[in-house]
Amino acid sequence: MADNNAKLNVGGNAHDFDVLDGSIGPSVVNISSLYKDTGMFTYDPGFTSTASCESKITYIDGDEGTLLYRGYPIEQLADHGDFLESCYLLLYGELPTKAQKDDFVSRVTYHTMIHEQMNRFFSGFRRDAHPMAVMVGTVGALSAFYHDSTDITDPHQRMVASLRMIAKMPTIAAMAYKYHVGQPFVYPRNDLGYAANFLHMCFAVPCEEYKVNPVLARAMDRIFILHADHEQNASTSTVRLAGSSGANPFACIAAGIACLWGPAHGGANEAALNMLSEIGSVDRIPEFVARAKDKNDPFRLMGFGHRVYKNYDPRARIMQKTTHEVLGELGIKDDPLLDVAMELEKIALNDEYFVDKKLYPNIDFYSGITLRALGFPTTMFTVLFALARTVGWIAQWKEMVEDPSQRIGRPRQLYTGAKLRDYTPIDQRR
């Protein structure tokens, strides 16, 4: 337990601030009265030392490399549970009983179809549009079809919107893929599990029956679990900030998708696979490692490093295991990109630069190899991340909306621009 008081001396005046302890992890200094007390703001670009909220959902220990969903280690959830069980856990805080799980699965299953008129949305996009552009547009448009679950002050509507988002994301993601590859949309099937249904919607065609490989469906389901939530990352913070204004949940999730698309965040899985393809062979690794270390070269090892993990990302370990499982099931004996990834990891983990900066593989390093083996093009990798992260965004949005102390998020700034000056007519400007 930290000392429950922090002192700050500003302009010769001492100010006391409360220290608040969490159940685990770092304590926080409550500086909410700082501006009122001192006339000063804190300054923390990138929020490296800033807790934006109180949350009970996900805990990460970056030094230990641990990740807990509502206190349960990600390894145990990935090994023993399934994605919809983790969805229930993230949303409601406890593992479901059998009856609760069956009811939840049934409610999600019967929300998987989207309004038939939404199909026309897709034809407005170019076929070669990036699927993430389609996702941002289509998910944002859900509020145009589901007005009856946009009143965030109504707990029932919040619950319906949450279920709709979790249920419809696989359908929309699969439609974005089908549109991208020029194949007809495949409707969801109520007799298939969540991951199997998604794979069926992606890879089935009207000409023949498509049997989902249960080993691949299990791997897909586990990949969804690994991506489900991750504390106050950039896209979750985007969803919270959008939601703090009272925006409807569909608009908030669309904002989260937009943020996740960036290569420094969820877009890293696509960038990591493209990087491995560019490296191409083990003998070119030293050239790229040198570039990653060169301050004058913007190149970074995609899939490496993390704002919080200064140890191995526990999700990357599970993902690596899943990669071998999927390649084994598909009879892929040697995948040159996997060889490059494994060798690159070995070299980087023994290189002083990466060791000093505590840069380890993150979840995006191996996921691309697995997703490509499952049959997805690289442009779909971040879509799959968004599909899985929707439950985390919704759980965090729900926690924020239901927090009685919640207010609109409105950060301040350090202004270094022009001081007050008068307008100059254009004919007097030089």
Q: Which residues are catalytic?
A: 306, 364
- When binding is defined by CB under 6 A, the residue of 230, 240, 372, 398 that contacts ligand SDX is 230
CB of residue 264 to ligand SDX, shortest distance in Å: 4
* DSSP bridge partners of 69: 58, 72
CB of residue 356 to ligand SDX, shortest distance in Å: 9
Is 290 a residue that touches ligand SDX (CB under 6 A)? no
Choices 81-89, 113-121, 141-149, 302-310 (CB under 6 A): range interacting with ligand SDX: 302-310
Shortest CA distance to 113 belongs to which of 160, 58, 171?
171
Q: Pairing relation of β-strands 72-73 and 58-61?
A: unpaired
- When binding is defined by CB under 6 A, the residue of 65, 137, 256, 303 that contacts ligand SDX is 303
- When binding is defined by CB under 6 A, the residue of 82, 270, 364, 399 that contacts ligand SDX is 364
Q: Which is nearer to ligand SDX, 268 or 279 (CB)?
A: 268
Is 367 a residue that touches ligand SDX (CB under 6 A)? no
- When binding is defined by CB under 6 A, the residue of 305, 360, 370, 394 that contacts ligand SDX is 305
CB of residue 284 to ligand SDX, shortest distance in Å: 16
**What angle (nearest 5°) sits at the alpha carbon of residue 35, between those of residues 34 and 41?**
90
Q: Alpha carbon of 346 to those of 38, 289, 350: distances in Å?
A: 50, 12, 6
Is 361 a residue that touches ligand SDX (CB under 6 A)? no
Is 240 a residue that touches ligand SDX (CB under 6 A)? no
**Total residues at the site for ligand SDX (CB under 6 A)?**
22
CB of residue 339 to ligand SDX, shortest distance in Å: 20
Q: Which is nearer to ligand SDX, 179 or 366 (CB)?
A: 366
Q: What is the Cα–Cα distance from 319 to 312, expressed in whole angstroms?
A: 12
- When binding is defined by CB under 6 A, the residue of 107, 307, 317, 321 that contacts ligand SDX is 307
The secondary structure of 396-423 as a DSSP string is HHHHHHT-TT-----------S--S---
194 — alpha (psi -120 to 50), left (phi > 0) or beta? alpha
- When binding is defined by CB under 6 A, the residue of 265, 270, 273, 275 that contacts ligand SDX is 265
Place of tokens 């909306």: 401
Q: What is the Cα–Cα distance from 232 to 273, expressed in whole angstroms?
A: 25
Is 368 a residue that touches ligand SDX (CB under 6 A)? no
- When binding is defined by CB under 6 A, the residue of 165, 273, 359, 400 that contacts ligand SDX is 359
User: What is the identity of the amino acid at 410?
Assistant: R
Given a contact cutoff of 8 angstroms between Cβ atoms, the answer to whether 221 and 384 are in contact is no
CB of residue 252 to ligand SDX, shortest distance in Å: 16
The secondary structure of 132-160 as a DSSP string is HHHHHHHHHHGGGT-GGG--TT-HHHHHH
Site string for ligand SDX, 322-351 (x = CB under 6 A): ------------------------------
Burial of 34 (0-12, 13-18, 19+ CB in 10 A): middle
The single-letter DSSP state of residue 9 is E
Place of tokens 């890293």: 268
Site string for ligand SDX, 182-211 (x = CB under 6 A): ------------------------------
Is 391 a residue that touches ligand SDX (CB under 6 A)? no
Return the residue nearest ligand SDX (CB atom).
Answer: 305
Q: What is the Cα–Cα distance from 22 to 58, expressed in whole angstroms?
A: 12
Residues in contact with ligand SDX by CB under 6 A are 46, 230, 233, 264-266, 268, 292, 300-308, 357, 359, 362-364
